[in-house]
Each structure stands twice: as C-alpha cells, then as structure tokens.
Amino acid sequence: MSRTVTGAPRLVTERLELSLPLPADRDVMAAVVAHEETGRYLGPAFDPVDHFMRFMRNAGSWQLYGYGAFMIRLRDSGELIGNGGVFHCLRGLGVDFDDSPEAGWILRHDQVGRGIGFEAMTAVLEWFDREHGPRRIVCMTDPGNQASIRLAAKLGFTPMREAALADGETVKLFERL
C-alpha cells in the first residue's frame, strides 16, 4: 500500500509535470544519481543506503513540513528525469543555513542544459511562495558545478559563504530572501 499526502500539489509547466515521490521512484532516482556525470557533484560515490536516506528525507519533509522534493517528469512521456523542490534539512552547516527550507535539484545527465532545471524550479518556488509565504530559502552546490551555480543565481539565490560537510566536502551556500 502506498500512502500520499492529502491535497498533494501537482505542478504542470510547458514541458514538465512535478508531483510527490512514489515508492517506485526510488529506484529510478537511484539510477539517475548513480550515473557518473550526474553523481560527480553529489558527494561521495553512489551508495544505496545513502540514497535511501536522501529519498526518505525528501519524502518525509512533505509529511512534516508540507513541502519537499517533487519528482520531475516529462509531460509528453511521463518519464522520470530528476527531482527538485524545497525540503527541510539539517546538515550541520551553521545557524545561518540549518533548519531552513532548502532548495535542491537533480537532473538526469542527458537533460542538463535544456532549461528544465529553471522551468521546474521556477514553478516550485512560485508554488512555495504562494503556499508558504515568501521567506528565506537556502541552497548549496559543489563549487565546481558551474551549471548549478548559474541556475541558483538565475533563480534569485545569492552567495553566502563556503562550508564543509561532515565528510569534509566543500560546498558553496546560497540564500534567496
């Protein structure tokens, strides 16, 4: 039996449909993040246990906070190509970042550079502002992920500082006021 959040949002854009995660999405997203081109900016090499925890964190954010990561599907085929949204997380990065709504996006390697991330995250941020009120949202990215840094800027995020994750990986932190 699968359970869904009552009144769960479904966002539709010109090319995409964004909906809440389903149990079957876990394995598809595992394949997306396990790909070398996609996974290179997501921390240590793909680990099924870590992926499960990330997937559950994002799904649990919906239940506890009323927002989380959407699954991003192509409208014409229904194919799952990534996720993106605003979720709630603690990362141990300081009071200026932790315990805040955090934006994030992951797209399958062959979908990068087509404007899909901007299209999806614009819809998400408009929905979030409408449903939860305009408020500060943070995000982070690998310092080498120039495409993600450009997308964050295009979405209105401004640099805060660099920080180190628990595994020692350096990340750039951003905020959108």
What domains sit in the chain, N to C, each tagged with a CATH number? 11-134 (3.40.630.30)
CB-CB neighbours of 57 under 10 Å = 15
Cβ atoms 97, 160 nearer than 8 A: yes
Interatomic CA distance for residues 169 and 78, integer angstroms: 35
Choice between 38 and 66, residue whose per-residue pLDDT is larger: 66
**pLDDT digit string, tens, across residues 10-21:** 999 999 999 999
Give residue-wise pLDDT tens across range 103-135. 999 999 999 999 999 999 999 999 999 999 989
Q: d(Cα 33, Cα 69) in Å, to the nearest integer?
A: 15
Give yes or no for residue 66 having a pLDDT over 80: yes
At 87, give phi and psi (nearest 5°): -130, 175
Going from the C-alpha of 131 to that of each of 19, 67, 70, the distances in angstroms are 15, 9, 15
Q: What is the pLDDT of residues 15-58, one digit of tens each?
A: 999 999 999 999 999 999 888 777 767 766 667 888 788 888 88
Tens-place pLDDT, residues 129-166: 999 998 999 999 999 999 999 999 999 999 999 999 88
